[in-house]
Amino acid sequence: MTLPPDAPGPSVPHLLLGVCDYPEQVPQDRWAPYARQQRELGLSFVRIAEFAWSRMEPHPGEYDWAWLDEAVETYAAQGLRVVLCTPTATPPAWLVRAHPEILPVDDQGRVREFGSRRHYDFASPVYREHSRRITRAIAERYGGHPAVVGWQTDNEFGCHATSRSYGGASAAAFPGWLEKRYGSLEALNAAWGNAFWSMEYAAWDQLAPPILTVTEANPAHALDYARFCSAMIAEFQAEQVAILRECSPGRFVTHNFMIFESGFDHYEVSRGLDFATWDNYPLGMLEFFAPPGYEAQKLEYARTGHPDLVAFNHDLYRGLLAGVPGRLGRGGPGTPTGPWVMEQQCGQVNWAPYNPLPADGAVALWTAQAWAHGNDVVSYFRWRAATAAQEILHSGLLRHDETPDRGHAEVAALNLEGFPAGEVPARVALLHDYESLWIYDLQPHSAGLNYWAQTLAYYSALRALGADVDVLHADADLSGYAVVVAPAITLMTPERAARWTAAVEAGARLVCGPRTAFRTVSGGTPEGGQFGPLAGLLGARLAQFDSLRPGLETRVAGPGGEYEAFAWAESYRPEAGTAVTHRYVGGPLDGQAAALCRPGGQGEGVVIGAHSPALIAEVLRGVLGRAGVDTTDLPPGLRLSRRAGRTLLQNWTAGPLTWNGIQVPPVSFQVRPD
């Protein structure tokens, strides 16, 4: 593929920076000075126009490109490279009024109205047509412009709970999707177990979205609705990607995903992209998205965000397009760069319950961490704070009065050559799967836990031991990994079990958390109960599971000591050849197996049944040691991340920390050769 002149090639030498800018929101006489200042700050990219449909097409079919032509030329004149967006996150008023049927419906059956953003139903054939039309129009206009180096589709699929519409076009399309999936109503009724509570369907048009039911809807029904909505997003995006590829050859196509967004299968939706990008708001994330278990840390990390929550999202999005070994996060040969942080917090946000200012040093620390976790570009949100509408209270690199804000100085001081490109050398894979997330969270069974909380307990334990981690799909190629951790992969298929078994045969050490392999692809329990096709590998069956309300903790004892477990405890009936490494102490599970280890082939299968950070840390330390992966005990708030033969040492706390004799001042980082 031929890249536009001066575009970053596959060998981006080091981290590059960008910014999100909104020429349509400021007077035109500000464009040239802003572009000049952006270049002077050392920025290379500017992302524009993701919400500008009403300016691109003020009236049906009447395009106005003059302003966007001028804006693109203004950035180009300063040598900035432009990432253009399809503006489909914000259908204009004329379109909504002419076609109210494009509007989405919430989970209470109410239509979500015009007046903010993301007000459309992914399944709407009318909206799909307009999405293709505006995509083609902008792609034909700018697809060959030398300053335009890439495209972002839409903006943050799923933001504001918009991945699922529960009426209108989606409700109309759902039965047809089910008919394709199951072929017959007999098959659907059997898969969903609809004999239970007389839920059987006798005609396709009897099927509806799973809302407003008297008590919980059948989880199998809800699971398929999640799949259906995800498929609609994937189709919606694929239509745009195809047009962009046709009209803008040689440019990359990406999408900016969100923090812990759970409403669609990101692996499915990102399939046609060159690389993934995501929007990193560490403070808002801690306040707004942190799963159970982070309450106590919200104050401690209020001005930096939690290192592991941010790191997890970096690793997740780097691994989204994994599949080509050694090219994590890259779409394939010729991909210009990737992955990126498309929107990076650089001051306070406006959308969390509390929106503190970041600590001095936090913007630089977030940028360095993004580099160490594999990102080639960090693009700040936004250039100048908005002076009108919903986001007035949100900061930018410039204040409302156009003077540089706090983050600006930290960006100006970055030494980009100190952040060279290169691979993240992870020997540990942590497995993730949106279908497991959906079925787990449909029936959490313990208010103190959910899929992300359980997954993060394992991820954090690995980070506290100093391990670098690739987050991969549960069906990814596992060759080359010394340790594979499956914290909450509750949905099991025979193919998945076979792949994991082969990885263990070949030498991987597999660690599974509670509820692993407890559900089938249609949400039932596997033949033979928990573990199903994994029972041979793990050498055990489920005995009991216990849901623990706060105050009802249980204890687990093993070689390293005795630990408290909370929220969830399950016990096992081991077979001959399976070692019980930990047992419950007291309570209804007293004396029963809480953790197991079974050798298999060149590797081993390990199961941890109790939710206990101390137990998880002890077991992982042992497994990493046996696998020959170096570990270290990091103090809370100090983290290591490795890339390109260097180690980034980070202090995320308000006090100095020491590791291996190295002092790291508060909210700061050091890049050291390995």
Residue range at the interface with ligand GAL (CB under 6 A); choices 62-70, 151-159, 292-300, 302-310? 151-159
CB 346, min distance to ligand GAL, A:
10
Which H or E element spans position 252?
A: strand 252-254
Compute the CA torsion angle 489, 492, 494, 496 (nearest 10 deg): -20
Residue range at the interface with ligand GAL (CB under 6 A); choices 63-71, 154-162, 522-530, 576-584? 154-162
CB 55, min distance to ligand GAL, A:
16
| Residue closer to ligand GAL, measured from CB, 299 or 389 | 389
Exactly one of 50, 57, 156, 391 is catalytic; name it.
156
User: Per rule CB under 6 A, is residue 156 in the interface with ligand GAL?
Assistant: yes
| Residue closer to ligand GAL, measured from CB, 34 or 381 | 381
Rule CB under 6 A: choose which of 74, 131, 152, 155 binds ligand GAL: 155
What's 417-435 look like in SS3? HHCECCCCCCCEEEEECHH
User: Per rule CB under 6 A, is residue 261 in the interface with ligand GAL?
Assistant: no
User: Per rule CB under 6 A, is residue 159 in the interface with ligand GAL?
Assistant: yes
Per DSSP, which regions of 548-588 are E strands?
A: 554-558, 561-565, 568-574, 579-585
155 is in an annotated binding site: yes
Per-residue contact string for residues 382-421; x = within reach of ligand GAL by CB under 6 A: ---------x--x---------------------------
Q: Which of residues 492-551 bind ligand GAL (CB under 6 A)?
A: none
Exactly one of 50, 57, 261, 343 is catalytic; name it.
343
197 is in an annotated binding site: no
User: Per rule CB under 6 A, is residue 279 in the interface with ligand GAL?
Assistant: yes
User: Per rule CB under 6 A, is residue 593 in the interface with ligand GAL?
Assistant: no
From the list 593, 588, 512, 513, the residue with the least C-alpha distance to 554 is 588
CB 22, min distance to ligand GAL, A:
9
Start-to-end CA distance of the chain, whole Å, equals 35
Distance (Å, rounded) from C-alpha 536 to C-alpha 528? 12
| Residue closer to ligand GAL, measured from CB, 47 or 128 | 47
Is the Cα dihedral 54, 55, 57, 62 positive or negative? positive
CB 261, min distance to ligand GAL, A:
10
Question: What Rg value do the Cα atoms of the chain yield, rounded?
Answer: 25
| Residue closer to ligand GAL, measured from CB, 156 or 376 | 156
Say how many C-beta atoms besides its own lie within 10 A of residue 140's C-beta: 13
Residues comprising the chain, all counted: 674
Per rule CB under 6 A, count of chain residues that contact ligand GAL: 11
Distance (Å, rounded) from C-alpha 163 to C-alpha 227? 11
Q: Are 486 and 431 in contact (CB under 8 A)?
A: yes
Per-residue contact string for residues 321-360; x = within reach of ligand GAL by CB under 6 A: ----------------------x-----x-x---------
519 is in an annotated binding site: no
User: Per rule CB under 6 A, is residue 381 in the interface with ligand GAL?
Assistant: yes
- DSSP letters, 330-380, are --STT-----EEEEEE-S--SSSSS-PPPPTTHHHHHHHHHHHTT-SEEEE
| Residue closer to ligand GAL, measured from CB, 283 or 489 | 283
Locate 62 and state its tokens. Answer: 């009447």
| Residue closer to ligand GAL, measured from CB, 254 or 554 | 254
User: Per rule CB under 6 A, is residue 127 in the interface with ligand GAL?
Assistant: no
Rounded to 5°, the CA angle 42-46-48 comes to 160
CB 49, min distance to ligand GAL, A:
12
User: Per rule CB under 6 A, is residue 281 in the interface with ligand GAL?
Assistant: yes
Cβ contacts of residue 459 below 8 Å, gap of 6+?
308, 311, 312, 315, 430, 469, 471, 487
Q: How many CA atoms lie within 13 A of 144 on its CB side?
A: 4
CB 256, min distance to ligand GAL, A:
6
Helices (H) and strands (E) in the chain, counts: 19, 25
Residue range at the interface with ligand GAL (CB under 6 A); choices 141-149, 152-160, 372-380, 434-442? 152-160
User: Per rule CB under 6 A, is residue 22 in the interface with ligand GAL?
Assistant: no
- DSSP letters, 255-277, are -EE-TT--SS-HHHHTTT-SS-E
Catalytic, 343? Answer: yes
Cβ contacts of residue 309 below 8 Å, gap of 6+?
259, 282, 285, 286, 289, 290, 294, 456
| Residue closer to ligand GAL, measured from CB, 394 or 515 | 394
User: Per rule CB under 6 A, is residue 162 in the interface with ligand GAL?
Assistant: no
* Strand pairing report for 483-486 and 509-512: parallel
CB 215, min distance to ligand GAL, A:
34
| Residue closer to ligand GAL, measured from CB, 15 or 349 | 349
Cβ contacts of residue 602 below 8 Å, gap of 6+?
504, 505, 506, 507
Locate 101 and state its tokens. Answer: 């049927």
Helix axis angle, 362-372 relative to 307-318, nearest 10°? 40
| Residue closer to ligand GAL, measured from CB, 275 or 669 | 275
CB 21, min distance to ligand GAL, A:
12
Residue range at the interface with ligand GAL (CB under 6 A); choices 94-102, 153-161, 458-466, 523-531? 153-161
CB 400, min distance to ligand GAL, A:
15
Binding-site residue ranges: 117, 155, 351
Residues that bind ligand GAL (CB under 6 A): 155-156, 159, 279, 281, 343, 349, 351, 381, 391, 394
Binding-site residue ranges for substrate: 117, 155, 351
Catalytic residues: 156, 343
